[in-house]
Amino acid sequence: MNRMQEKPTALITGASAGIGLELTRRLLSEDWQVIALNRSDFPPDDESIQAALKTGRLRPYKTTDLADYASLRQALEEIKAKEQWIDVLFNNAGRSFPELSYSKQGREQHYELLTVVPYIIMMELKDLIQRGHLKTVINTSSSALKMTKKFTLEILERPKTFRKLIGPYATSKLALSLWTQAIAPRLARDGIKIRSVDPGGNNTLRKGKKAGLPILVSAIMKLVFPPPTHGANLLFEGALGEHRDKTGVFLLKGKVAELQFLNQAQTVLDRVQEIYEHEFKL
- pLDDT at residue number 215: 57
> What is the rounded distance in angstroms from the CA atom of residue 45 to the CA atom of residue 133?
33
The answer, as to whether pTM is greater than 0.85, is yes
Query: What contacts 135, CB < 8 A, 6 or more positions away?
Result: 87, 129, 190, 191, 192, 193
> What is the rounded distance in angstroms from the CA atom of residue 52 to the CA atom of residue 73?
26
Residues 128 and 83: beta-carbon distance below 8 Å: yes
> What is the rounded distance in angstroms from the CA atom of residue 22 to the CA atom of residue 165?
23
> What is the rounded distance in angstroms from the CA atom of residue 73 to the CA atom of residue 68?
8
- pLDDT at residue number 212: 59
To the question of domain 3-280 being in CATH 3.40.50.720, the answer is yes
- pLDDT at residue number 3: 39
Please report, for the chain, the start and end positions of each structural domain, with discontinuous segments joined by +. Answer: 3-280
- pLDDT at residue number 213: 57
CB atoms within 10 A of CB 54: 9
Please, which residues bridge with residue 91 across strands?
Answer: 139
- pLDDT at residue number 166: 84
**Among 120, 155, 118, which Cα is nearest to 264's?**
155
> What is the rounded distance in angstroms from the CA atom of residue 255 to the CA atom of residue 264?
23
> What is the rounded distance in angstroms from the CA atom of residue 145 to the CA atom of residue 183?
19
Query: In a structure prediction context, what are the per-residue pLDDT tens digits for the chain, which is 282 residues long?
Result: 443 457 899 999 999 999 999 999 999 999 999 999 999 999 999 999 999 999 999 999 999 999 999 999 999 999 999 999 999 999 999 888 889 999 999 999 999 999 999 999 999 999 999 999 999 999 999 999 999 999 999 999 999 999 888 899 999 999 999 999 999 999 999 999 999 999 987 655 455 555 555 555 555 656 566 778 999 999 999 999 999 999 999 999 999 999 999 999 999 999 999 999 999 997
